[in-house]
Structure 1
Amino acid sequence: MTSLLLALLGLSASTLAAQPSAPKPIPAPMRNLTFGQLNFLHTTDTHGWLAGHLREPSYAADWGDYIAFASHIREKVEADGADLLLIDTGDRIEGNGLYDSSEPKGLYTADIFKQQHIDVLCSGNHELYKKNSSEDEYLITVPNFKGNYLSSNIDIMNPQSGERVPLAPRFKKFITQKQGIRIVAFGFLFDFTQNYNNTIVQPVEETIKEQWFQDAIRDKDVDLFLVIGHVPVQSKEYTDIYKAIRGMHWDTPIQFFGGHQHIRDYAKYDEKAYGLASGRFMETIGFASINGVSTGGKKASISTNPTFTRKYIDNNLWSFYHHTNLNESTFPTQQSKNVSKMIENARHALNLDHIYGCTPQDLWMSRVQYPHNDSIYTWLEKQVLPDILSTGMRANKTGMAIINTGAIRFDIFKGPFTQDTAFMLSPFTSAFRYAKDVPYDKAKQVLEVLNRQMKILAEMPGSGLSASAFLAPPEQLAMDKDIVVDDDNESQVQLPKSDQKPLSLYNDDDSGEPSEPSPSRIPGYTTKDAAGDDGDDTIHSPISYYRVPNCISALIAESSSSSSFSSPSPSPTLGNAVADPQTVDLVYLDFIEPWMEQAFKFVGADVDVKKDTEVFLDGNTLTQVVVRWVEENWKCKDGAE
């Protein structure tokens, strides 16, 4: 096979991904896709990264490139008489300047996203946090994908009539074009409780008891059940759905697609039921195929049991060229080039390349232990929060700030810190609040409870918190907990590991060798899942992953007379506060207020968050705080771009 050599020849010095500032793809050893009767491409948790990763060659393809890739794969599959379905499982917003920096938010991304034909899609939790984003989903995205958008357990208050209605149809039944496979499809969200009050998310356990669902799974003329959702593939919600379908159809194939945890993952429910999760932030295009499916009620002759495959495709042109047997000149389509130009124009209109400062080093969320000089959280704790939040402190008062580590979404790379960087780092609109004169020993206990007693907080009377609530980055939810199955096949989530070391998800032992001699490995995903360790299309060298606490804290000195900042010191002090203060003004992000409220009760602190807290620092967000610090402290050298 010559595809690797052709792709290598196509990588001239001028070869770039569609965005002008994107880096060249790096040659790497590859594994091939295994096509079947029914094939899928899957995106999830894209969070606005439609321009791709402009600082990371492994993930630098944009949405236009993905459109070209899907088009070529569809041509290849259909030429062989097989079918291709495109799936998206939500969280398309919040996480990138392309979505977050426009006014209103998402001004450009909805039009860009809809250029890709998607056969089945659903909502994530991020679409539902705010009133405007959920209404945009109902009024814009659902119509953009009319008939393909499914909402099995989400209702919305119609913004025009005020009536409670389904966000989109609960399910659909359709027949594939080439193979004639009869499919019943659903679209779920996990048991989410933090949605804005104009939407209603019904727990999955209750939804599957409803008559419409029971009728749908009793349909006898079905060759495949397709369950998509913004749900971890290893979860109680999917276990419940699987058991409900299996109760009616003991041997009908089921294909699940999930998301939310920002990881590459594959779950096996039985020999005829599998689930795929495809990463985050347009780093991964998930691929799945099934062979041996019945068609139109006619038993498949290929095998007794269907065969399922999966691959995690790195989102770059090297991977795309390899899997399509195309190159720089033959790969782009007119539509893909048009969409890439739409993205370029939107980025220019939003001034996303505006430089606030220049980062002197890489700072990591999870590639180094916390605390560490190269940790984003150490940088926030020791430099950013003490410097900036001190300007909002009351005179002669010491502060203590608590932020959840999940408020940070991405690493910082050495070089220009741009407007886009700021939104990638922390896209959220959460502001700071504070409680005055909290005993310091109680404040420290609050932090300890947030990091170690989340289950207890959720179980306290009147908490309204989900037992699965998590304040750390979403990818840690899967990596920090073990999923086991008991004798009744019920998923059980174990308590977090207490040690801090690289987790076994990253595994350098690979089976599945490349089909021909190829270049050296580069750092990246080395996924080990339920099907083995050959799922990544690109054979990488491993990257370490370390867990972080749910929350970090920083002590803050009283406000100085000057509002300007000097060069940052590696270990800021608290002025004259040498000994531990007796009380602190406790500052926190308002996103974590429900957990703070329960933690105050748990430690016996006399704080009513509704009555005893106030807005801090004029409602500035964490993103604004970070940008202000960067502007003051990370000056670019003359001539830096």
Structure 2
Amino acid sequence: MLSTVIFSLLVVIRFTFCEEKGLNITIIHTTDMHGWVNGHPHEPTMNANLGDIYNYMYHMKQKQGPQSKVMAFDTGDYSQGTGLSDATPIQGEFIFKVIQKMPYDGLCIGNHELKTNPCIDNVANNVVPFWKGRYLAINVHHINSSKKMGDRYFTLDLPNGKGKVLVFGWLLTWNSHDTNAYVTKVETSLKESFFNEAFAIPNVKLIICLCHIDTTNPEVELIRKFMKKNKPSVPVVMLTGHSHKKRTFVPSTSDYEMESDHYSRCLGLLNFVLPDALLNGNVTNADSLNITYKQQFLTTNVAQMQASAGIRNSSQWDTPTGLAIKAELKKKNDELHLSEVIGCSPKQYAAKDLYPIMVNKVLPSRFKFSTKFVYTMKNNVMRYPLYKGQIVYNDIFTIDPFNYSVRTYSNVKGEHLKKLAPLLNEYYFSDNLKSLNNSSTFELIHTMNEEKKITATLDTIARGVYKPRDLGYWFRPIFVDYVRNYMKCGKTFTDRGEGEGEETTVDVDSDQMTLTSFDEEQHAEAEEESVGATESADPIDEGEQHPKKKTFNTTTCIVCVVSACAVVAVAGVFVAILMAKKRRRTQRSLESVSFTNGEVEPLL
């Protein structure tokens, strides 16, 4: 609260005495949506759905004037996360269709759009043509050279002929895609000749790079530095994604990088002024501009979004298109039976706490709990908590968005399994591993997700002896059947193996859903998914700034405030008149953003 008050005071003083002149730019950013377009039923503070996000973008764009521009962008991963994205015949087909109603100025591809060939082909055949050059994928290609997975760049016009915004889009260097697409390295893509054409476009005043790349991945800085080398007079904004984190980074005095969480949990807002000197062509080095970026992660809470957009009367919030989107969401949700109650959970489980249940209870249930089977699962499959109370069909998709095939290694010796487990630290094994007879043989049940690493590791123990085979099962239906049969409301549920773990009675009525907040441990994408993507030596927690980000010094802030207050005291009457005029002019709460007269207003 104190920091908010100090920040607000500094902003008020700044724009009272030294108002910036130029073009006011506001960027609205979303990323890693993963099918989360219908709100968060278990987390009531995030009660906005895609229709509300449309409303927000619409109202913010309505504020544009001759001295301002509002742009909205998304940086990929639209599917594999909920029933609305994954219960359809083609992965993501409904999500891509409903997003067509959104007022995005540009989008880029994500790695999850390349997970299955039907999704790849849907992107090439339907998504790319619809966006008419504004769905970008510089380094992603379809195996059919006549089809595109995205365009390379486009431009947007600034108001009153003041210049252009040049927009590019990339996917991180990544090789875990299905067979109908391939990805070239980001570094290789920077050598393509089309950049000569793009950089020759006249009157470019801002470059925006849409990157489905983790902010800490060196490929982000590689792209930014390439932009600055070729267009040193132009500020660069990097909108990133993939890590499911809130991150910001100021790499120079003219550039900014922002990554805006995941699952539609927030909107990334960025507000700044392109100075008149830049717009008039009087700048050769953008770093001399010292652009001040104001940034906020706005929770997707309807009340907060209304306040930010300056909507004081909630009856003015919904728009015809927003209502149409909401109606489509409800219709598809009902059509897919995603709200059907299939069982109840006696308590709340974090995603990481579900793995013991999966290898000791869920997978064994398909094989009648035979003692001749050992089960394993890698710790990157479960993506969302299981909440206490009723379990609806959609909850299964949020927990397991991948639905990997179930496979086995047959006749694996007990002694080999005991050697295997310590070599796979990121894998969970069923509890019966500890009591295996060394000379006996077992079935090692796993999913396709684990197979590459298991095969390579087994070969170090007994080269060429064990080969995987498919069992004709998929994990998600096994999970659904388990919940229906073993997690019935009012029945006793044991969350570990026979005779172990916690035995709890599910005493929740079938029509009751528990709504609670949950601090879920976030997991980045699987390590093998990102070739060339490196983890930061000092991991950045959700919501923190990149270590190199420039921040206010507290002592300096206090000195500035005290000095400014002295000035205010001397010119009290004059300032009061100015502030009264300013309040009448903006007619909004402190949480909203104004786009009038080229001023940057606080994003609180």
TM tier relative to shorter chain: 0.7 to 0.9
CA distance in 1 between counterparts of 2:88 and 2:374 reads 33
Residue in structure 1 matched with residue 422 of structure 2 by the alignment: 448
CA distance in 1 between counterparts of 2:369 and 2:408 reads 11
Residue in structure 2 matched with residue 308 of structure 1 by the alignment: 293
CA distance in 2 between counterparts of 1:277 and 1:80 reads 29
Q: Which residue identity lines up with residue 380 of structure 1 in the other structure?
A: M
Q: Which residue identity lines up with residue 42 of structure 2 in the other structure?
A: R
- What is the Cα deviation at residue 392 of structure 1? 7.8
For structure 2, which runs of at least 5 residues remain unmatched after alignment? Answer: 1-10, 491-507, 512-604
| Matching of residues 55-94 of structure 1 within 5 Å | 55-76=42-63, 78-79=64-65, 81-94=67-80
- What is the Cα deviation at residue 388 of structure 1? 1.6
CA distance in 2 between counterparts of 1:190 and 1:304 reads 30
CA distance in 1 between counterparts of 2:376 and 2:191 reads 41
Contact 1:37–1:179 (Cα < 8 Å) also in 2: no
| Matching of residues 169-248 of structure 1 within 5 Å | 169-177=151-159, 180-217=162-199, 221-248=203-230
CA RMSD of aligned residues (A): 2.9
1:101 aligns with 2:87: yes
Residue in structure 2 matched with residue 553 of structure 1 by the alignment: 429
| Matching of residues 6-21 of structure 1 within 5 Å | none
CA distance in 2 between counterparts of 1:265 and 1:60 reads 23
Q: 1:187-215 deviations in whole A, cap 9, x for unaligned? A: 10001101112112110010001211354
- What is the Cα deviation at residue 285 of structure 1? 1.0
Q: 1:267-287 deviations in whole A, cap 9, x for unaligned? A: 222222221111111111111
CA distance in 1 between counterparts of 2:203 and 2:82 reads 43
- What is the Cα deviation at residue 580 of structure 1? 6.3
Residue in structure 2 matched with residue 640 of structure 1 by the alignment: 510
Q: 1:346 to 1:222 in 2, by over 3 A?
A: same
CA distance in 2 between counterparts of 1:338 and 1:117 reads 14
Q: Which residue identity lines up with residue 297 of structure 1 in the other structure?
A: G
- What is the Cα deviation at residue 581 of structure 1? 6.8
- What is the Cα deviation at residue 164 of structure 1? 5.1
| Matching of residues 576-591 of structure 1 within 5 Å | 582-591=440-449
1:412 aligns with 2:386: yes
- What is the Cα deviation at residue 110 of structure 1? 2.5
User: Pick from 295, 298, 306: which aligns with 2:279?
Assistant: 295
SS at match of 1:247: helix
Contact 1:218–1:248 (Cα < 8 Å) also in 2: no
- What is the Cα deviation at residue 362 of structure 1? 0.8
Structure having the higher helix fraction is 2
Contact 1:284–1:314 (Cα < 8 Å) also in 2: yes
CA distance in 2 between counterparts of 1:344 and 1:401 reads 38
Contact 1:121–1:149 (Cα < 8 Å) also in 2: yes
Q: 1:543-598 deviations in whole A, cap 9, x for unaligned? A: xxxxxxx32121469xxxxxxxxxxxxxxxx9xx5766754322221123222232
SS at match of 1:270: coil
Q: Which residue identity lines up with residue 305 of structure 2 in the other structure?
A: F
- What is the Cα deviation at residue 432 of structure 1? 1.3
CA distance in 1 between counterparts of 2:113 and 2:73 reads 17
SS at match of 1:225: strand
| Matching of residues 377-392 of structure 1 within 5 Å | 377-385=355-363, 387-391=364-368
Residue in structure 2 matched with residue 360 of structure 1 by the alignment: 346
CA distance in 2 between counterparts of 1:141 and 1:449 reads 42
User: Pick from 95, 107, 117: which aligns with 1:131?
Assistant: 117
- What is the TM-score with the length of structure 1 in the denominator? 0.69
Contact 1:82–1:179 (Cα < 8 Å) also in 2: no
SS at match of 2:101: coil
CA distance in 2 between counterparts of 1:146 and 1:634 reads 48
Contact 2:108–2:169 (Cα < 8 Å) also in 1: yes
Q: Which residue identity lines up with residue 386 of structure 2 in the other structure?
A: I
1:346 aligns with 2:332: yes
SS at match of 1:38: strand
| Matching of residues 484-499 of structure 1 within 5 Å | none
1:148 aligns with 2:148: no
Q: Which residue identity lines up with residue 487 of structure 2 in the other structure?
A: W
- What is the Cα deviation at residue 604 of structure 1? 2.6
Q: 1:181 to 1:379 in 2, by over 3 A?
A: farther
SS at match of 2:315: coil
Q: Which residue identity lines up with residue 378 of structure 1 in the other structure?
A: P
Residue in structure 1 matched with residue 413 of structure 2 by the alignment: 439
Q: 1:383-405 deviations in whole A, cap 9, x for unaligned? A: 333x4254385xxx632222122
SS at match of 1:90: coil
CA distance in 2 between counterparts of 1:323 and 1:261 reads 26
Contact 2:78–2:92 (Cα < 8 Å) also in 1: no
CA distance in 1 between counterparts of 2:458 and 2:287 reads 61
- What is the Cα deviation at residue 130 of structure 1? 0.8
Residue in structure 2 matched with residue 112 of structure 1 by the alignment: 98
- What is the TM-score with the length of structure 2 in the denominator? 0.73
CA distance in 1 between counterparts of 2:345 and 2:377 reads 22
SS at match of 2:169: strand
- What is the Cα deviation at residue 338 of structure 1? 1.5
Of the structure 1 ranges 244-253 and 414-423, higher mean CA displacement relative to structure 2 is found in: 244-253
Contact 1:151–1:187 (Cα < 8 Å) also in 2: yes
User: Pick from 571, 589, 596: which aligns with 2:454?
Assistant: 596
Contact 2:133–2:153 (Cα < 8 Å) also in 1: no
Contact 1:124–1:189 (Cα < 8 Å) also in 2: yes
Q: Which residue identity lines up with residue 111 of structure 1 in the other structure?
A: K
Q: Which residue identity lines up with residue 139 of structure 2 in the other structure?
A: N
Q: 1:442 to 1:632 in 2, by over 3 A?
A: same
- What is the Cα deviation at residue 347 of structure 1? 0.7
- What is the Cα deviation at residue 124 of structure 1? 0.4
Contact 1:292–1:303 (Cα < 8 Å) also in 2: no
Contact 2:163–2:203 (Cα < 8 Å) also in 1: no
1:167 aligns with 2:149: yes
Q: Which residue identity lines up with residue 48 of structure 2 in the other structure?
A: A
Q: Which residue identity lines up with residue 391 of structure 1 in the other structure?
A: K
Contact 2:90–2:119 (Cα < 8 Å) also in 1: no
Identity %: 21
CA distance in 2 between counterparts of 1:296 and 1:445 reads 69
CA distance in 1 between counterparts of 2:287 and 2:220 reads 28
Contact 1:88–1:121 (Cα < 8 Å) also in 2: yes
SS at match of 1:112: helix
CA distance in 2 between counterparts of 1:389 and 1:232 reads 38
Contact 2:207–2:237 (Cα < 8 Å) also in 1: yes
Contact 1:153–1:202 (Cα < 8 Å) also in 2: yes
Q: Which residue identity lines up with residue 110 of structure 1 in the other structure?
A: F
User: Pick from 457, 474, 478: which aligns with 1:620?
Assistant: 474
Q: 1:296 to 1:416 in 2, by over 3 A?
A: farther
- What is the Cα deviation at residue 107 of structure 1? 4.6
Contact 1:205–1:240 (Cα < 8 Å) also in 2: yes
Contact 2:67–2:159 (Cα < 8 Å) also in 1: no
CA distance in 1 between counterparts of 2:432 and 2:485 reads 18
